[in-house]
Amino acid sequence: MKSHARVVVVGGGVMGVGLLYHLALEGWTDIALIEKGELTSGSTWHAAGQCPHFNGSLNMTKVHLYGTQLYPKLEELTGQAVSWHGCGGLRLATTDEEVNWLKYVYGISKLAGYEGEIIGPSEIKQYHPYLETFGIKAAFRTVTDGHVAPADITNAMATGARKLGAEIYRRNRVLDIKLLPNGEWRVFTEQGNIDCEHVVNAAGSYCDVVGSWTGHNVPIANMLHQYIITEPLQELIDLKQELPVVRDPYSHAYLREETNGVLIGPYETATAHTCWDGQPPRWDYESELEPNELERIMPWLEKATERLPLFGKAGIKSIISGAITHTPDGVYLSGPAHGPKNYWMHCGASIGICQGGGAGKYLAQWMVHGQAEINMREFDPRRFGNWATKDYTAEVSVADYHHMYYCYKPAEQHDVGRGLRKSSLYNKLKAEGGQFAQIFGWERARWFDKSGKGEQYSFRRNNAFESVKAEALAVRERVGLMDLSTFAKFEVKGLDAFAFLNRIHANKMPSKNGGLTLSHLLNDTGFIESEMTITRLADDHFYVLSAAAAQDYDFDQLSWRLRAGENVTITDVTDDYAVLVLAGPRARDVLSQCTKTDLSNAAFPWLTAQVGEVAGVRGVRLVRVNYVGELGWEIHVPMAEAPKVYDALMAAGKSHGIQLFGTYAMNSLRMEKSYRGWGSELTAEIDMFEASMSRFIRLDKEDFTGKAASLNLKQRGPRIQLVYMEVDNTDSDCMGNEPVYHDGKIVGLTTSGGFGHAVGKSLAFAYVDPKLTTVGTEFDVMVFTEKRKARIIAESIWDPKNERLKA
Ligand SMILES: Cc1cc2nc3c(=O)[nH]c(=O)nc-3n(C[C@H](O)[C@H](O)[C@H](O)COP(=O)(O)OP(=O)(O)OC[C@H]3O[C@@H](n4cnc5c(N)ncnc54)[C@H](O)[C@@H]3O)c2cc1C
């Protein structure tokens, strides 16, 4: 075995091998993969091999689509035989909300470019003569879905990788991994050590153990999953064409043909559990199956027999029972781990056969080029922090498994694994009817429900609409108060703090103490990595805020850019401060009753900050900025003291009609102000010019990260351009990833949307062909398969001159 490689991949399942192959295709060939047994001897060998396209995420759809396009070609590409079965697929819908979902996914199929259609129950028999159609309202038919033998594609990609120069060491267990003083990683194996620039954890069911060696928290649970194959059936032998793979919410199972028998795999909606009592598998566990638990899955098999009576006609040939890695949100982990650079996760896949090719392609792009051509946020392992403990992961993974074929309505979350991170105001907001959502472990109020019914989730507008309207209008007309303690918060201190922040940011840093600026971190290729608000508290002290979900991600973004010898410390103070947003025309009247700080425009202008005393609490950071576009302050209070400040503001605000508001109202308000969102409008696939954010990039500034690339990007011109639109108002708003048409052709896609309650319009952002960005240009946006008229409007529809902010 060699002693040094650019990349060492730990684990030879479909994920590790898929990455190895694509790293080699991207041109990195000094790469090695280490596998303790034989390739595929973990979860991969016993998988059922289905590769569907139907998915509610555009990025994930691109991952799936790449696989289904690659696998049929792999034999030709590598010389290794691959048994691709392009039998198509049928995703059934049995409720109206499921039909809505099918319609939303139809738009995604158009954007991703795969062939799919929604058919009625009467058409189903044409594609699947043996399926019973009771209770079915519609089905999404995918033409190019298929299934494949998992070992075939893994071995083919291994062959392809080897041919390009990659090395694979089998029967060699990795024993430990350590960070070396020079920033490289040492991988200790049974056959000796190998040092590398990049190490990848693709250890499947063992990935949490492998991660623990370097202090990484890897939130996966190994779920026990089973499928059954019957003896051959004459009906299927006689069929000329293979039946499509069916995914059925009634039996909560996949049902397909396998060597002229029937293959059925239910995802139990109750009683599922982790393997091995939640412990990692034995190190000598290799190509084994677990004892089957047929009794446990009987209720779902009975339903599957009702759906496909053929299943009941044949004897069982085999029962496959094995471990499947599962993350709390059901999406695999792929990207840099939080902490020292160049440790990558590539694990936690529960649909890894389908995803192995695409997941490998896009992570390889990220590793080699610094970014992928798709938005990788939803795969980034840093979406989970240390709050995602083992117990949380097991509990939520079980719940997620139970919901594998459940149709999540937008914004719907699990009830389990909750309450991990709460601001000191949680109980007060809860008492006011706060409806909370989990974000990076925090509980954050979306809206306030006076009825006690809670949110009735739907793809269309739901029972929250009128309450959210009242909250949004209160902010516009009077004053609103919001708990935004979830902000990620960092202190950047030291003699070089200003120079450091100025060097890494696209905007100029505030030159005076008390100044603040909104700025972006770009990568070397000029694309947008992060958005931060930076407040200068002193010459050598900056307070940096960013999105809640970016807490670990942005800590890495900052700390990875530090240079040796720079006098800078970066501290995560997220949990230390609560943040109250007080906004609306009467915000000054309310706040001035609780503080002696002069809040007049002359003494406290817009986009400045001061430290003062509020409600007797000292050291409160008052920042005159907000995301809702009104006169207002963010009030940053030491966490334990926040209830005192909250009580004082609520009492002072009573006569002004103060109203609590949540993130739903905030979204409505920010859409009216055309404020972009990190992760939706601002992503690493986009540059500042495309995002119509030129005023935030100071190309006249001395060098900063991404400046040279940005100059080139500016010269090149945008590939797509962000526009702000009004969409014809019906019963729903754009959610993002709806296709945008012009003259009957797709010219772009939405990124987010919402109803502007103060303006009475449905608003959306979209990226479109840069030739079509003039105000007034008309489009058709496909929302739930209907084309709705939309037109570009000038930014912003509310207070375009920012007069209210500066009032
Ligand atoms: C019954 C069942 C049916 C399934 N059906 C489907 C399906 O139809 N479609 C689909 O897409 N997915 C399906 N899956 C899921 C799929 O099998 C997994 O998502 C996928 O195999 C995960 O691949 P992996 O490479 O991450 O893990 P693995 O295949 O487990 O590979 C990890 C490898 O790492 C090695 N390793 C671990 N630790 C070390 C170490 N210290 N040193 C060296 N090597 C190490 C292991 O030996 C193993 O070979 C199914 C799973 C099950 C259980």
Concatenated DSSP letters of 710-732: HHHHHHH--SSEEEEEEE--SS-
* pLDDT (0 to 100) of residue 588: 98
Nearest atom in ligand 1 to the alpha carbon of residue 285 is 47
* pLDDT (0 to 100) of residue 793: 98
Percent of residues, the chain, with pLDDT higher than 90 = 100
Check if 174 has its Cβ closer than 6 Å to any atom of ligand 1.
Answer: yes
- What's the gap in Å between 741 CA and the centre of ligand 1? 41
* Nearest Cα residue to atom 31 of ligand 1: 13
What number is the average pLDDT over the span 469-473? 98
How far apart are the C-alpha atoms of 155 and 344, rounded to whole Å?
Answer: 23
pLDDT (tens digit, 9 = 90+) per residue, 123-154?
999 999 999 999 999 999 999 999 999 999 99
Question: Exposure pattern of 585-607 as b/e (b: 16+ CB <10 Å)?
Answer: bbbbbbbeebbebebeeeebeeb
Nearest atom in ligand 1 to the alpha carbon of residue 14 is 25
* pLDDT (0 to 100) of residue 220: 98
At 39, which amino acid appears?
Answer: L
pLDDT band per the 50, 70, 90 thresholds, residue 593: very high
Check if 10 has its Cβ closer than 6 Å to any atom of ligand 1.
Answer: yes
SS3 of residue 739 by DSSP: strand
- What's the gap in Å between 43 CA and the centre of ligand 1? 3
What number is the average pLDDT over the span 517-532? 97
* Nearest Cα residue to atom 37 of ligand 1: 203
- What's the gap in Å between 204 CA and the centre of ligand 1? 5
* Nearest Cα residue to atom 51 of ligand 1: 47
**Given strand 516-522, what is the order of strands in its sheet?**
516-522, 528-538, 541-546, 488-493, 569-572
pLDDT band per the 50, 70, 90 thresholds, residue 548: very high
* pLDDT (0 to 100) of residue 566: 97
Check if 347 has its Cβ closer than 6 Å to any atom of ligand 1.
Answer: yes
pLDDT (tens digit, 9 = 90+) per residue, 10-56?
999 999 999 999 999 999 999 999 999 999 999 999 999 999 999 99
Structure-token match 């028998």, residue found: 261
Check if 15 has its Cβ closer than 6 Å to any atom of ligand 1.
Answer: yes
Nearest atom in ligand 1 to the alpha carbon of residue 38 is 49
What number is the average pLDDT over the span 562-589? 98
- What's the gap in Å between 356 CA and the centre of ligand 1? 10
- Which tokens go with 377? 């946020």
How far apart are the C-alpha atoms of 238 and 260, rounded to whole Å?
Answer: 9
Q: Ligand 1 pocket test: pick from 324, 347, 355 the residue with the most ligand atoms within 8 Å of its Cβ.
A: 324
Check if 50 has its Cβ closer than 6 Å to any atom of ligand 1.
Answer: yes
* pLDDT (0 to 100) of residue 68: 97
* pLDDT (0 to 100) of residue 262: 98
- What's the gap in Å between 6 CA and the centre of ligand 1? 24
Check if 797 has its Cβ closer than 6 Å to any atom of ligand 1.
Answer: no
CA dihedral 457→461→464→470, nearest 10 degrees, is 170
What number is the average pLDDT over the span 181-195? 98
Would you call 78 exposed, middle or buried from its count of C-beta atoms within 10 A (0-12, 13-18, 19+)? buried
pLDDT (tens digit, 9 = 90+) per residue, 228-287?
999 999 999 999 999 999 999 999 999 999 999 999 999 999 999 999 999 999 999 999
- What's the gap in Å between 287 CA and the centre of ligand 1? 10
How far apart are the C-alpha atoms of 563 and 285, rounded to whole Å?
Answer: 44
pLDDT band per the 50, 70, 90 thresholds, residue 689: very high
Mean pLDDT of the chain: 97
* pLDDT (0 to 100) of residue 388: 98
Instruction: Please tell me whether the overall predicted TM-score, pTM, comes out greater than 0.95 for this model.
Output: yes
pLDDT band per the 50, 70, 90 thresholds, residue 195: very high
* pLDDT (0 to 100) of residue 324: 95
* pLDDT (0 to 100) of residue 557: 98
Nearest C-alpha neighbor of 527 from the set 653, 657, 372: 372
- What's the gap in Å between 147 CA and the centre of ligand 1? 16
Nearest C-alpha neighbor of 418 from the set 449, 446, 439: 439
- What's the gap in Å between 679 CA and the centre of ligand 1? 30
* pLDDT (0 to 100) of residue 230: 98
Q: Ligand 1 pocket test: pick from 19, 43, 177 the residue with the most ligand atoms within 8 Å of its Cβ.
A: 43
At 361, which amino acid appears?
Answer: K
Check if 43 has its Cβ closer than 6 Å to any atom of ligand 1.
Answer: yes
